[in-house]
Chains A and B, each alone.
Chain A
Amino acid sequence: MTLNAFWFVLVGVLLTGYAVLDGFDLGTGLLLLCAKGDHERRVFLNAIGPVWNGNEVWFVTGVGALFAAFPQVYATVMSGFYDLFMLVLTALIFRAAAIEFRGHRPGRCWRTAWDVAFAISSVLSAFLLGVAFGNVVWGIPLDSAREFQGNLITLLHPYALFTGFTTVVLFIMHANVYLVLKTDGPLQEKLMRWTTFTVPAYLACFVAFNAVTLFACAHIVAAIHERPLILGAIFVVGLLVTFNILREIWMRRPGPAFVSSCAALVLHLLLFGAAVYPNLVFSTPNHAYDLNIYNSASTEKTLGFMFVVAIFGVPIVLTYTITVYYVFRGKVILTEESY
């Protein structure tokens, strides 16, 4: 494996880590509005309370790694998707403020206002990140200097919007399963009933999304012809794993259900990674300007140096993450320090 491929995988791992971990944080946003009463809402918020901040670091670090390893992609995507990212950033700021400020005052209006802010900003972040993602698969118009030629409207085509929608549905399902894991009693029963809507909804979106991609994205179809076995296998396993969530919930095993949900997310992103490799950004209509892991990368020296940094750093990061999740395992208990 070359260094360039290693960094493709590592940036992928960081962004997948973000989707798996912050996915349920973002999904909790919309579910929060479906919760009845302050106590239930607090349980939802404190299910993600100790971990959401650390989960967001995966995104920031993923973007940092993208900058270090593939600066051309970082510059092209960030400046090209300017309006999109400004909205994502505002939404992420609002989310952080909402969850922090909510608990500081007991008033009903105060709390409801922040709940709504939290829900809107969560859904908006998930949706816009999905739209950005959809555009990367679909391709964006680039010129010879790797500059994006277009505007916000260029980015809001139906395929991207559908990707955004799918992302929201995916995160809601993921959050639903996570909350089943973190609650008990009648609340857990209620959340389990919700999964009978959220999981099939995602399954439908997942299948529809893949079908649309198959018909509409010529460069993805080319990739499928190139490696049909790998992509086919990932797709089938992804589908089975998602079905398994329903089965585990039905057998009342929230732990394995959550693991399946995480696995489904990982497989979905793996499918994406395997379909685009070795490209990072498709340039449509002119594929001569595609950004791939070679023409957009930093020098071998930087990739090598950062390889060493990552080889030591990532295991340490995993240790913290596992420690924190281990300490906060089990059902949510509200204390004085809770949100």
Chain B
Amino acid sequence: MNDDLSRIQFALTVSFHFLFPPMTIGLGVVLVVIQGLRLWTGKHLYLDMARFWTRVFGLFFAIGVATGIPMEFQFGTNWAHYARFVGDVFGSPLAIEGIYAFFLESGFLALLLFGWHKIGPRMHFFSTCMVALGASFSAIWILVANSWMQTPDGYHLVREVKVVADGKEYPMSADLGGESFTTREVPLPADYVVTREDVPHVRAVIDDFGMAILNRSTLARLCHTILACWMTGSFLVVAVSAWWLLQGRHVEFARTSLKIGLGVATLASLLQMVAADSTARGVSRNQPTKLAALEGLAASRKEAPMGVVGGVSWKRDAEGRIVGVEDNAIRIPGLLSVLVSGEFLHPVAASETEVQGLAQLPSDEFLRRRHPGASDVELANLRPQYWPNVPVVFQTYHLMISIGVALVGVVLLACVLWRSGKLWDAESKYVRAFLWLLVLTPVLSEIATQAGWYTAEMGRQPWVVYEVLKTGDAASAAVKAPQVLSSIILFSVVYLLLGVLFFGLLIRMIRKGPTTEAAGTDLPETWQPLSLKAGRQTEGQAP
């Protein structure tokens, strides 16, 4: 009960938090571009843009930080067994994140938000770069930590035992009466199966930090996530600009913002196709059960098809036990085999690649180690325990892919319209419809990002550390269900309030738009456009 509630709480808090960092990471990149352009060209328009988008950035950042603080605590509050089990490996990236990312981010953020009157444009540009870098660093370390949970590496398991005076070892649970003892840790074999009873006294200890940090899945997952963040943040810029164009307000400001946002979004979307492909192929190699679940692939086969829309549901026997999956999806034949092989140049040969299905996963050998002495029939009955929630992850996975592909189409079309100049024709009803579509892109991108994260995390179940520690065994022993229920209610109320207010203020800020009247005359001399210093009025001056 406690662990189910803790799952709900973690999902709630991390989902709400994860609405904000993708925006700040993406907006950070856009801000670097804007400030770079302002330094390079000296145009005043870029200064107005920098000031407006920095304010938006500040709002997202404030809520991102506020909702991020609980994340650092919840591994201990709700998942104390997990914290004890992995602390030696998992604590390090979190501490590194604090020392190298959070300080960098928050320190320079002060200069970025409040430093306009205190520092010059060059220092301000440098601060912008550091904030963007800090935001990416924090993404790097949290993904390092998460990737270790997906593909644990560079560690071994040890068990703590009691040692009495004559050197005899006893388990920690043994009652030695009044006899005094010391404790010692004995290494366990590589294929050791962790049971629920083990959890308080068995832990993972580090062998090799290089392998733990740069494990098999880190790089691909990191690129995939960072690019998703870039897309989300830059789509916000595109959407707000498109909205102003639809209203005919701040037209020059909106056009320039849209171009910059679209530039970043296009670059990120195109790179994302490569990163997403390699992430999925990584899953097929490192976590075949997860891939079979994401695709709802019932049995191993060649020419495996890839789902597009529809769904899969559980197939149950007469007693209601899960025995397999029922496929109701529309699929593209052979595509999954081609994607898994990665041989896009030889699709026919590649479609002969065999993809393993749920009926064979996890392998018999894996099951036998966990259930010694079980017959083949019993093993087949036990297998579904080791599957994630296939109907749900199928949906989140394909939702992410569908939105991702659609967004790539949208940015490419937008680029074509921009190059041909048609995008600025806000009278045409087709262009207006397209601009409305652009207004929706950040929402779509947020949905895809969340769906992707759900896929990664729910697809890992029932494991919290993949094929080592079960999520159900990782919750805190000292915490009771009513406590977690109360904190869920507390967080729900606070987050609901926060979400509503945040959204209201964001809309208000966008409605109000950039302040161009003062034209930056409130800022010190160093910020004045070069042209103005020379006493000339140029095109860079906003009307």
Tell me if chain B binds chain A: yes
**Does B247 count as interface, using CB distance less than 8 angstroms?**
no
Stretch at the interface among B236-244, B262-270, B490-498: B490-498
How distant is B297 from chain A, measured CB to nearest CB, in Å?
38
Give Cα A148 to B498, complex, Å: 33
**Does B534 count as interface, using CB distance less than 8 angstroms?**
no
Check if A53 sits within 8 Å of B65, measured CB to CB: yes
Check if B97 sits within 8 Å of A54, measured CB to CB: no
Check if B77 sits within 8 Å of A86, measured CB to CB: yes
Give Cα A321 to B183, complex, Å: 42
**Does A244 count as interface, using CB distance less than 8 angstroms?**
no
Check if A93 sits within 8 Å of B110, measured CB to CB: no
Stretch at the interface among B99-107, B272-280, B306-314: B99-107
Check if A298 sits within 8 Å of B87, measured CB to CB: yes
| Residues in chain A near residue B487, CB distance under 8 A | 82-83, 86
Contact of B114 among A59, A94, A298, A337 (CB under 8 A): A337
Contact of B477 among A93, A94, A99, A145 (CB under 8 A): A145
**Does A213 count as interface, using CB distance less than 8 angstroms?**
no
Stretch at the interface among B68-76, B216-224, B365-373: B68-76
**Does A6 count as interface, using CB distance less than 8 angstroms?**
no
How distant is B20 from chain A, measured CB to nearest CB, in Å?
12
| Residues in chain A near residue B111, CB distance under 8 A | 50, 324, 327
| Residues in chain A near residue B416, CB distance under 8 A | none
**Does A328 count as interface, using CB distance less than 8 angstroms?**
yes
Give Cα A50 to B92, complex, Å: 29
Check if B95 sits within 8 Å of A67, measured CB to CB: yes
How distant is A181 from chain B, measured CB to nearest CB, in Å?
17
Check if A328 sits within 8 Å of B102, measured CB to CB: no
Stretch at the interface among A168-176, A224-232, A234-242, A305-313: A305-313
Q: A61-B102, A64-B97, A93-B70 are in contact. Are A85 and B508 (CB under 8 A)?
A: no
Majority-rule SS of B interface residues: helix
| Residues in chain A near residue B103, CB distance under 8 A | 54, 57, 61, 316-317, 320-321
How distant is A337 from chain B, measured CB to nearest CB, in Å?
6
Give Cα A69 to B59, complex, Å: 34
Give Cα A320 to B133, complex, Å: 14
| Residues in chain B near residue A314, CB distance under 8 A | 99
Stretch at the interface among A73-81, A157-165, A191-199, A248-256: A73-81
| Residues in chain B near residue A317, CB distance under 8 A | 99, 103
**Does A108 count as interface, using CB distance less than 8 angstroms?**
no
Q: Which residue of A lies closest to B515 (CB)?
A: A336
Give Cα A96 to B383, complex, Å: 47
Check if B69 sits within 8 Å of A93, measured CB to CB: yes
Check if A68 sits within 8 Å of B95, measured CB to CB: yes
Check if A148 sits within 8 Å of B478, measured CB to CB: yes
**Does A246 count as interface, using CB distance less than 8 angstroms?**
no
* Residue interface bits B107-121, CB-to-A below 8 A is 1, else 0: 111110111111100
Check if A79 sits within 8 Å of B477, measured CB to CB: yes
**Does B359 count as interface, using CB distance less than 8 angstroms?**
no
Give Cα A53 to B59, complex, Å: 13
**Does B384 count as interface, using CB distance less than 8 angstroms?**
no
Interchain Cβ contacts within 8 Å, total number: 239
| Residues in chain A near residue B364, CB distance under 8 A | none
Which residues of A313-339 are within 8 A (CB) of B? 313-314, 316-317, 320-321, 323-324, 327-328, 333, 335-338
How distant is A252 from chain B, measured CB to nearest CB, in Å?
26
Check if B110 sits within 8 Å of A50, measured CB to CB: yes
How distant is A47 from chain B, measured CB to nearest CB, in Å?
12
**Does B406 count as interface, using CB distance less than 8 angstroms?**
no
Q: Which residue of A lies closest to B518 (CB)?
A: A336
**Does A12 count as interface, using CB distance less than 8 angstroms?**
no
| Residues in chain A near residue B508, CB distance under 8 A | 104
| Residues in chain A near residue B200, CB distance under 8 A | 145-147
Check if A64 sits within 8 Å of B98, measured CB to CB: yes
Q: A61-B98, A100-B62, A317-B99 are in contact. Are A79 and B69 (CB under 8 A)?
A: no
Contact of B183 among A56, A149, A295, A313 (CB under 8 A): A295
How distant is A76 from chain B, measured CB to nearest CB, in Å?
7
Majority-rule SS of A interface residues: helix
| Residues in chain A near residue B89, CB distance under 8 A | 302
How distant is B92 from chain A, measured CB to nearest CB, in Å?
5
How distant is B162 from chain A, measured CB to nearest CB, in Å?
10
Which residues of B40-66 are within 8 A (CB) of A? 55, 58-59, 62-63, 65-66
Contact of A328 among B110, B183, B491, B501 (CB under 8 A): B110
Check if A78 sits within 8 Å of B83, measured CB to CB: yes
Give Cα A92 to B490, complex, Å: 13
Check if A60 sits within 8 Å of B80, measured CB to CB: no
Check if B95 sits within 8 Å of A306, measured CB to CB: yes
Give Cα A144 to B162, complex, Å: 11
Contact of A82 among B58, B77, B501 (CB under 8 A): B77
Which residues of B181-239 are within 8 A (CB) of A? 183, 200-201, 205-207, 209
| Residues in chain A near residue B491, CB distance under 8 A | 90
Which residues of A14-67 are within 8 A (CB) of B? 49-51, 53-54, 56-57, 59-65, 67
* Residue interface bits B476-488, CB-to-A below 8 A is 1, else 0: 1111000100110
Give Cα A51 to B87, complex, Å: 31
Give Cα A295 to B172, complex, Å: 14
Which residues of A129-179 are within 8 A (CB) of B? 144-149
| Residues in chain B near residue A145, CB distance under 8 A | 172, 200-201, 477
Q: A321-B103, A338-B114 are in contact. Are A67 and B83 (CB under 8 A)?
A: yes
Interface centre among A54, A63, A71, A99 (most CB of B within 10 A): A71
Check if A83 sits within 8 Å of B486, measured CB to CB: yes
Check if A78 sits within 8 Å of B76, measured CB to CB: yes
**Does B379 count as interface, using CB distance less than 8 angstroms?**
no
**Does A299 count as interface, using CB distance less than 8 angstroms?**
yes
10 tightest A-B CB contacts, nearest first: A71-B87, A78-B76, A61-B98, A68-B91, A320-B107, A96-B66, A79-B80, A79-B476, A67-B91, A313-B99
A-B contact pairs, 5 of them (CB 8 A): A61-B103, A68-B87, A97-B66, A337-B114, A337-B116
Q: Which residues of B contact A (CB under 8 A)?
A: 55, 58-59, 62-63, 65-70, 72-73, 75-78, 80-81, 83-84, 86-92, 94-100, 102-104, 106-111, 113-119, 172-173, 183, 200-201, 205-207, 209, 476-479, 483, 486-487, 490-491, 494, 498, 501, 505, 508-509, 515, 522
Known: A61-B102, A63-B73. 13 other contacts (CB 8 A): A50-B113, A67-B90, A79-B477, A79-B478, A85-B77, A86-B487, A92-B66, A93-B69, A97-B498, A100-B66, A298-B87, A320-B103, A320-B107
